[in-house]
Chains A and B, each alone.
Chain A
């Protein structure tokens, strides 16, 4: 295995938008993320591919958040962001380093009329959550601690137990629908490992 092959952070993540002005004003002015790059292109590929703008905002440490704006293209219902748990699972979480910085971000957002939906300490990060003009879920968080070796060990056990249990249930024609079965499978794995 080539252990030197690593990714080096995020260059960009990208989403479509159907609100050009609102998106530019929110990311550039409300959040204050510099607009650092824009591509404008005549459609390519399939004949019905529209012309588009693709633009990037600097979100720190070499990362950007990017959008596509397709000219003359109506937003399809399937891409309308619904404020539901499964839609909101798709989100970007930016990192700040201190409690003071997080408080300053909250103040900035609220001063500019952004609704900070909630702020919570959960496991390894304290985060505040809000939405952009597209409804996309955004998060700014500060790590509460670094990941430990045991976090990785425990994560591997959890996922192994979940995959094993899902395979067993599928073989019986059932669907894995309760976390209890995963925790029991994980308990068995630990017992086998620790003796």
Chain B
């Protein structure tokens, strides 16, 4: 299981709106301050396709996450399950 916690504060809303468009990404509404982006095996984001700026891209995981970063460059982020 991959889980990305996203703080429920205004700067991160574009990330939530973007994640809702990502196939295989389950977006769970904020609970105790954090949205959850979840996938059983892998989460895959493209910065350009999602229209995210560099600032939010570089801090996209700053709410904490469970999993491991497989790839993360200027345009691609792949986070995989550890199990």
Contacts and interface: CB of A to CB of B under 8 A. Distances in A.
Contacts of A122: 55
B20 to A, nearest CB: 21
B8 A150 contact: yes
- The SS class assigned to the B binding surface is mixed
| Size class of the contact patch on chain A | 20 to 34
A158 B33 CA distance: 14
Contacts of A123: 11, 55
A191 B66 CA distance: 9
Contacts of A145: 10
Contacts of B33: 150, 153-154
Contact of A150 (B9, B61, B62): B9
Contacts of A151: 9
A188 interface: yes
B39 interface: no
Interface stretch (A40-48, A72-80, A178-186): A178-186
Contacts of B3: 187, 191
Chain B's interface size range is 20 to 34
A194 interface: yes
Nearest to A147: B9
Interface in B1-48: 3, 5, 7-11, 31-34
Given A145-B10, A153-B33, A190-B34, A183 B64 contact: yes
B31 A194 contact: yes
Given A122-B55, A145-B10, A194-B32, A184 B65 contact: yes
26 contacts: A123-B55, A150-B7, A150-B9, A150-B33, A151-B9, A154-B7, A154-B33, A157-B64, A158-B62, A161-B64, A179-B62, A180-B61, A180-B69, A183-B61, A183-B62, A184-B68, A185-B64, A186-B65, A187-B64, A187-B65, A188-B64, A188-B66, A190-B63, A190-B64, A191-B66, A194-B32
Interface of A: 122-124, 145, 148, 150-151, 153-154, 157-158, 161, 179-180, 183-191, 193-194
